[in-house]
Amino acid sequence: MSEKGNLRERIAEELPEVSQIKDEVLRRQVIDAWELALQRSSFSSIREIQPAGNPNSMVLTRGDQTDHIRGVTRLATVMADEIIASNPDIKVRRDIVVAGGLCHDIGKAWEFDPVNQKRWRDTPRATGMPSLRHSVYGAHICLTAGLPEEVAHIAAAHSGEGELLVRSLENTIVHFADIGYWSIMLAGGVIDPATIAGKYKRPISL
C-alpha cells in the first residue's frame, strides 16, 4: 500500500469516531483535512502531537492528542444527542458536530510542530509566536481540504477567537465540550500541575 494510503488508514484508526459521520463525502473530507495537516507538518501521526490545550500548557499526564480530540467529540455528540432527544424543535446537525469535534484542533499539527516552535522562538518578531494559532490555521486547513464552512467555523472559533463572533449551534456544543474536557481532566488530576493555564488555576483564599 502507498504511503498516502497508509496515512489515511492511520488517521481513520486514530479517530474511529469518523465512522459516525453519515455523509460519506463529509467523512472523506475529515480524513482529507487531517491528511493535509499532517503532510504539512513534521508529524506522521496525530498521536505524535503533544496532549495539551496549547503548547506546553494544560498537558495531560498520559495519552496523546487523540485522547483529547476523541474525548471532545464524544462529549459533544452526547450533548447533541440529548438536545435532539429532549428538544426536537432545535435542529442540531449531528454530522457537523462530529466532524467539528474531530477537526476542532486540526491546526495543532501546525502550532505544535517542533520545527515551527523552534523558528518562532528563535525569531519571534519575524512572523509572530506563533504566526497563527491552531484555531486560525485549522480553519485554513479545513477550507483548503474542502470541508464545509460550518466545520471550518468550529475550528476557527471553538476557542478564545470565538468570543469575537457569534458561534453556530454546533460550534457552541463543541466549544462547551472542549472547555468541559479540560475542566474535567483538571478535576480528575490528570493535568501536569506545572502546566495548568492561568484561567484554570485555583484562586488563592485570603
Q: Give the long-range contacts of residues 63-71, CB within 8 A, separation 24 or more.
A: 65/105, 65/108, 65/112, 66/14, 66/15, 68/105, 68/181, 69/15, 69/101, 69/102, 69/104, 69/105, 70/15, 70/16, 70/17, 71/181
- Rounded (5°) CA angle 35-168-143: 30
Residue 3 pLDDT: 64
Nearest C-alpha neighbor of 21 from the set 97, 105, 83? 97
Q: What residue has cell string 478564545?
A: 160
**For cell 483548503, what's the residue?**
144
Asked if residue 148 has a cis previous peptide bond (ω within 30° of 0), the answer is no
- Domain boundaries defined on the chain: 3-192
Q: What is the pTM of this model?
A: 0.94
> Which residue type does 205 have?
S
- Per-residue confidence (pLDDT) for residue 26, from 0 to 100: 98
**Do 156 and 138 contact (CB within 8 A), yes or no?**
yes
Low-confidence ranges of the chain (pLDDT < 50): 1, 203-206
- Cβ atoms of 82 and 184 within 8 Å: the answer is no
| DSSP assignment string, 65-99 | HHHHHHHHHHHHHHHHHHHHHH-TTS---HHHHHH
Nearest to 97 by CA among 47, 23, 33, 32: 23
Predicted confidence at residue 197, as pLDDT, reads 84
pLDDT score, position 4? 63
167-206 pLDDT, tens per residue? Answer: 999 999 999 999 999 999 999 999 999 999 887 766 443 3
Q: What's the Cα-to-Cα distance from 58 to each of 100, 174, 186, rounded to whole Å?
A: 21, 18, 8
CATH number for 3-192 (one of 3.30.1300, 1.10.10, 1.10.760, 1.10.3210): it is 1.10.3210
